[in-house]
Amino acid sequence: NAGVTQTPKFRVLKTGQSMTLLCAQDMNHEYMYWYRQDPGMGLRLIHYSVGEGTTAKGEVPDGYNVSRLKKQNFLLGLESAAPSQTSVYFCASSYGVLYSNQPQHFGDGTRLSIL
Amino acid sequence: GENVEQHPSTLSVQEGDSAVIKCTYSDSASNYFPWYKQELGKRPQLIIDIRSNVGEKKDQRIAVTLNKTAKHFSLHITETQPEDSAVYFCAASMDNNAGNMLTFGGGTRLMVKP
């Protein structure tokens, strides 16, 4: 039982390049989330999903897209990376609608630098 | 939307002393309040949570109190140890069956001096 697994762990991109961050969970969780964490700040929600085939915008969605084609996977895409997107990205998952307010479980994060 | 304020931003205590971190929230509909501990370079890990139907919850050296009227909640760590040194985040969410999104505070860096 690996929990929440993020790949890659580190990545350096040049401005304008694109990439996809992968999040996989093996806990059969309905809900999945993508956050970014900037130095000295809390986590801010980028996008989230309440189930396979659904996505929704969070607090800071601009410049990102997401897809949830399979229940266990949640992908975060950067179409044209910008230096302002340099951050640590965390994926999280939790049980869904049948379970009231369940804790979110986090992955180890992806450290992304945009030059 | 929800707004969560966390204080202090840094806290330094002597080993064995108590530490208290306070958070306020703005949306009276919020009903779930978790606390996460994040060590340097690691993932946030849940240490304790409280739901709005209780006023206090304790787990060994850690306790959380909730005042719904004043819209604030606090984390209390007793008999602090050097391994308690980390950044602590409070958060708030509303159980709306539409994602239970968490809004996080800005974090408190706790340093426990041996």
Per-residue confidence in pLDDT tens, chain B, 114 aa: 889 999 999 999 999 999 999 999 999 989 999 999 999 999 999 999 998 888 999 999 999 999 999 999 999 999 999 999 999 999 998 876 677 789 999 999 999 999
Predicted confidence at residue A100, as pLDDT, reads 65
Burial class of residue A83 in the structure, from the number of CB atoms within 10 Å of its CB (0-12 exposed, 13-18 middle, 19+ buried):
exposed
Amino acid at A91: C
Name the residue in chain A with its Cα closest to that of B32: A101
Whole-number pLDDT of residue B48: 96
Q: Whole-number mean pLDDT of chain A?
A: 93
The pLDDT assigned to A99 comes to 61
pLDDT of residue B54: 83
Pick from B49, B99, B103: which is nearest to A103 by CB?
A: B49
- In this model, does residue A107 exceed pLDDT 80? yes
Which residue in A59, A90, A94 is closest to B100 by CB distance? Answer: A94
Model confidence band, residue A97 (pLDDT cutoffs 50, 70, 90):
low
A65: contact with B, CB 8 A cutoff: no
Per the CB < 8 A criterion, the answer to whether A53 and A64 are in contact is no
Inter-chain CB proximity B104 and A103 less than 8 Å: no
Q: Do A31 and B100 touch (CB under 8 A)?
A: yes
| Contact indicator for A106, B43 with CB cutoff of 8 Å | yes
Contact B51 A97 (CB under 8 A): no
Nearest Cβ partner for B43 among A56, A101, A108? A108
User: For the CA atoms of A46, A50, A53, A56, what is the dihedral angle to 10 degrees?
Assistant: -30
Can you tell me the mean pLDDT for A63-89?
96
pLDDT band at A95 (very low <50, low <70, confident <90, very high): confident
Q: Which residue has the higher pLDDT, B61 or A42?
A: B61
Average pLDDT over residues A9-29: 96
